Each structure stands twice: as C-alpha cells, then as structure tokens.
C-alpha cells in the first residue's frame, strides 16, 4: 500500500528496522565533525561532516521523498539554496525570473548574480507571454507560485513545456505551499527550492534551505558545489527540521483552514479594497491552483 504524505512525514520507510539507530523513533543527532574508521584503507562511508552526515542524510531523504524527487540537499538557509542553484550557470546566461518574488531573492539576483554577469529578465510569469521573451542565451526560468508577497499563481506544467521546448531549466520555489500541498517536480519542474525555515521547520528555532531534483546531471553538479563550499546543514539543525516535518501535515491543514476563514472575512469588510488570496474563486489564479495543488 502506498504511504500517504502524513505517514511519510513521520516515517522514512527505508530506515525502519535499521540497526544503527537501535530502534529509536526519533533519529539520533550525529553531532560530529569527523569519523573513526575500522582500519587503514577502510571507511564507514562517512569521513567529514562537511561532506556527509547521517542525520543530514536522513533529512535529505525525507524531503526528497515528500517532493517525489530522487535527491534533496539540505543547506544552511533558503538563500543558500538559491545561491548554490545559481552556481549552475555561467557568465552571459539569461535567467527569466518572476518579478514578484521574495525580496531576499531579488537582492541576490540584482546585487550578487549581476557580479557574475548573469542577465536577469523580470516578468509577471502568471500573465506575460514567457515564450516571447526567451532568447538564445536563456538557460532557466525561475518562479515562485504562489508568489511572496502578492500571491500570484503561475501554471507550472505550462511553463515546464515552454522550458523543455527551449532547453531551459525550470526552477520553482515551493516554500509557500510546501510539499504537503504542491509537488512541482511532478508537474515538470527540474529543481525545487525551499526555505526550510518556514513551514518545513515550523517552530521558528532554526534556519535551513533545500534543493530537490530528479535529474542526475544536476544532482551531481549540486553535490560537488555543496561539498566544495561547505554549505550543508549542521547535524542539530537537521534534526530540528526533521522534528518539524513530523507535524507538517496538521500545521499546513490548519494554516490553510485559518487563512481561508480570514480571507472570507476580509472580503466582507468595506474598508478592504482587495484580498490577495488564491483560495478565493475571485482570484485570477484560482483555477490554476486547483489544478496543480491540493487542499
């Protein structure tokens, strides 16, 4: 029987019965920088926690499972995840970016990526004709959906078709809906990004970011970049996010219910001119959201 998302938030199937955790329900924190080996020329599979750590690996496998990806990488922050993803490109590459995105992302594109001579094209990807703006040097389309803060909704499957037609990567920041409500890889995205600080962690006590993919060539390049830069998440922070994911389902469900009630109430207030909430039938992205997300 296929496991539902709430069960997958609680249990990673491949760890059940594994000897090294002594049956612990809460996976241990391997708070170590280095590892001892059985003998000369022998390895436990772990050498240095910048390269790999058991606690971080369990978190990465859990997030990959929730996003239906083949691999996830846990990083120090969501911004670190975006920064490392941008390292996949080279000077002169054009990247089409949703204009209404998180301010920290805009700051990165405008002030850091520009130093690498990346060409950034901002569009309203929920309305504008993306294909007409693709150029010979366009290598990726980067979107949030829904966006932060204006809650614009882009059609992931449609944009994926455009990206594949022009041999571009589609990168989706899925922070707002989390894997509980939306799985962009299933809709054709190549890379999914999360700020784990928000809904995945859920307790306001740690920072984290994630990159998830199901493309082998991207996976290998990201693994090299993360090991080289040392951007991997620390063991204790990894455990905190694992703890948070256990309650992801109930938190997201309640958040959605509460947000819907607040949006309906605000709609009825004479002093409120407009409510930006894609769960309302009056929102321009309502039908797209119903098609590509749950809840």
CATH number of the domain at 161, please: 3.40.640.10
Pair 79, 220 in one domain:
yes
Pair 269, 203 in one domain:
no
Has residue 139 been placed in a domain? yes
Alpha helix ranges (H) inside the chain: 5-10, 54-66, 78-86, 103-111, 156-165, 178-181, 216-229, 235-245, 248-267, 286-292
* Mean pLDDT on 268-281: 97
- Would you state the pLDDT for residue 290? 98
Q: What domain range includes position 269?
A: 249-292
Stated pTM of the model:
0.95
Q: For the chain, report the end-to-end CA distance as a whole number of angstroms.
A: 22
Pair 233, 284 in one domain:
no
Has residue 40 been placed in a domain? no
Does the structure show a pLDDT above 70 at 247? Answer: yes
- Would you state the pLDDT for residue 25? 76
Pair 138, 215 in one domain:
yes
Pair 256, 111 in one domain:
no
Which tens digits make up the pLDDT trace of 168-209? 999 999 999 999 999 999 999 999 999 999 999 999 999 999
- The CA dihedral of 179, 185, 188, 192, to the nearest 10 degrees, is 90
Residue 13, number of CB atoms within 10 A of its CB: 10
Contacts of range 181-184, beta carbons closer than 8 Å, 24 or more positions apart? 181/252, 181/256, 181/293, 181/294, 181/295, 182/292, 182/293, 182/294, 183/67, 183/68, 184/67, 184/156
Does the structure show a pLDDT above 60 at 91? Answer: yes
Q: Check: CB of residue 81 under 8 Å from CB of residue 207.
A: no
- Would you state the pLDDT for residue 286? 98
Pair 253, 238 in one domain:
no
* Mean pLDDT on 208-233: 97
Has residue 37 been placed in a domain? no
Does the structure show a pLDDT above 80 at 18? Answer: no
Pair 272, 134 in one domain:
no
Pair 80, 211 in one domain:
yes
Pair 287, 184 in one domain:
no
* Mean pLDDT on 13-28: 68
Has residue 5 been placed in a domain? no
What is the pLDDT confidence band of residue 72, given thresholds at 50, 70 and 90? very high
* Mean pLDDT on 12-40: 78
Pair 82, 228 in one domain:
yes
- Would you state the pLDDT for residue 14? 66
Does the structure show a pLDDT above 70 at 38? Answer: yes
Number of domains in the chain: 2
Domain boundary residue among 226, 245, 264?
245
Has residue 232 been placed in a domain? yes
Has residue 130 been placed in a domain? yes
Pair 202, 99 in one domain:
yes
Residues with active-site annotation: 50, 102, 173, 198
Pair 85, 191 in one domain:
yes
| Lowest mean pLDDT across 40-49, 133-142, 154-163 | 40-49
């Amino acid at each position: 029987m296929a496991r539902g998302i709430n069960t997958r938030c609680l249990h990673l199937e491949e760890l059940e019965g594994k000897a090294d955790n002594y049956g612990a329900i809460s996976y241990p924190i391997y708070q170590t920088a280095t590892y001892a080996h059985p003998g000369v020329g022998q390895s436990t599979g772990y050498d240095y926690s910048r390269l790999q750590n058991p606690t971080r690996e369990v978190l990465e496998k859990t997030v990959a499972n929730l996003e239906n990806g083949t691999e996830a990488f846990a990083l120090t922050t969501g911004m670190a995840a975006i920064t490392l993803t941008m390292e996949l490109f080279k000077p002169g590459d054009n990247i089409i970016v949703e204009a209404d995105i998180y301010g920290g992302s805009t700051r990165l594109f405008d002030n850091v990526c520009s130093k690498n001579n990346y060409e950034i094209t901002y569009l309203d990807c929920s309305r504008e004709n993306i294909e007409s703006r693709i150029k010979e040097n366009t290598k990726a389309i980067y979107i949030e959906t829904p966006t932060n803060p204006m809650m614009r909704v882009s059609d992931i499957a449609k944009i994926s078709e455009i990206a594949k037609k022009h041999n571009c990567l589609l990168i989706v920041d899925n922070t707002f809906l989390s894997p509980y409500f939306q799985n962009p890889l299933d809709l054709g995205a190549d890379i999914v990004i999360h700020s784990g600080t928000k809904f995945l962690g859920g307790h306001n006590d740690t920072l984290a970011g994630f990159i998830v993919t199901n493309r082998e060539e991207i996976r290998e390049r990201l693994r090299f970049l993360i090991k080289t830069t040392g951007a991997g998440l620390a063991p204790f922070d990894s455990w905190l996010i694992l703890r948070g994911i256990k309650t992801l389902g109930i938190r997201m469900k309640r958040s959605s219910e509460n947000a819907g009630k607040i949006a309906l109430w605000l709609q009825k207030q004479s002093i409120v001119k407009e409510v930006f909430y894609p769960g309302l039938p009056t929102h321009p992205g309502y039908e797209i959201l119903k098609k590509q997300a749950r809840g």
